[in-house]
Amino acid sequence: MERIKQALTRAREEQNKRGNFTLAEVKEHPASTTTDLEYDYTQTKVVELNSKVLHKNRVLFDKDNDRANTAYKLLRTQVEQRMLAKGWNTLAVTSPSPGQGKSLTSINLAISLARSKHNSVLLVDLDLRRPSIHRYFGYEPENGVADCLSNDLPVSEILFNPGLERLVVAPGKQSVYNSSEILASPRMGSFVNELKNRYKSRYIIFDLPPVLATDDAMAFSPYVDATLLVIEDEVTTNDQLKQTLQMLEGTNIVGTVLNKAKSNSGNYYYYYN
C-alpha cells in the first residue's frame, strides 16, 4: 500500500494538485433545509431483489456488514463535500484496469448516497463493452443504455428502482464494441443532457470502463463534473497509475479509492485526494 501512496503523492505534485483531504477532516453532511425527498415510482419499474444474491455480490443493501457500511459512509461524505463545494452533481467512476472494483464501488456509493434523506441518486451503467451493474443486482433487463443511444428508446423505458427509496438505475444489457464512438457522439451529449435536466436535484453516477482498456473514459469525461478513480492495493502498479492520471489530465479528479487495502484498522479502502 505504501508504494501506491507514494505514487499518488508524486502524481499530485507533478500535476500541481491541491493538498491532502484526509479522513480526519470528514464531517457529517448538514441536514437538508428542505423536507425529506419522496418519490413516486409509478413510471419506474420497481424490482424485487434477492437478498442472498446481493449479499453474494457484496452489494450493501442490508446493514449487517457494519465495517463495509461505515467505509462507504466515509467515502460518501468525502464525495459529498467535494461535490457540494463545487456545485457538482455528475460523477464518473473508473479505474486503470479491469477487476479493480469500480462497478461495485459505483453501486455501493450510490446506495450510501441514497440512504441520506436529502439525496437522490441515478446510477448509470456506461461500461458499454462490459455492462455489469444489472448482474450485481441479480436483475436481467429487457433493454439497456445502448438501446437508448442506438435505437432512440426513451430513458424511462430502461430505468428500475431496486427497492431502495431515492435510488434509480439505468442498466446496461448487451455489449457494444464501438463504444468510444457512441460515447463521443452527439446522441451521447443529448442523452446526458436529458438526464441532467430530468434529474437536476439528483447525483448522477456513471460507471465507466477502465481507462487503460479503452478510450471510453476519456471520450466521456467532458460530460461529467468530476471523476472518482478506483485502484486496487498490490495490483495497480505505479506505471499504471501514472499513465491513468496522465490520460485523465484536465479532468476534475474528486479523489482516489484504494480498494481491498490491507490495514490493521480494518478499513475496506483508503481515500486520497
Alpha carbon distance 37, 116 (integer Å): 10
Strand partners, 121: 167, 203
What is the mean pLDDT of the segment spanning 37-56? 75
In this prediction, residue 61 carries a pLDDT of 81
Alpha carbon distance 204, 168 (integer Å): 10
Q: How many CA atoms lie within 13 A of 107 on its CB side?
A: 22
Alpha carbon distance 264, 261 (integer Å): 10
CA dihedral 184, 189, 195, 199 (to 10 degrees): 120
| Number of residues assigned to the chain | 273
Residue 90 grid cell? 455528475
Q: Which amino acid is at 183?
A: L
In this prediction, residue 13 carries a pLDDT of 53
Alpha carbon distance 242, 254 (integer Å): 17
Residue 91 grid cell? 460523477
What radius of gyration, in Å, describes the C-alpha atoms of the chain? 18
- Domains in the chain and their CATH numbers? 38-225 (3.40.50.300)
Task: For the chain, report the end-to-end CA distance as a whole number of angstroms.
Answer: 16
In this prediction, residue 262 carries a pLDDT of 67
The C-alpha cell 446506495 sits at 111
148-195 pLDDT, tens per residue?
Answer: 988 888 888 999 999 888 899 999 998 888 888 888 888 888 888 888
pTM recorded for the entire structure: 0.82
What is the mean pLDDT of the segment spanning 23-44? 41
CA dihedral 146, 147, 152, 155 (to 10 degrees): -90
What is the mean pLDDT of the segment spanning 35-40? 41
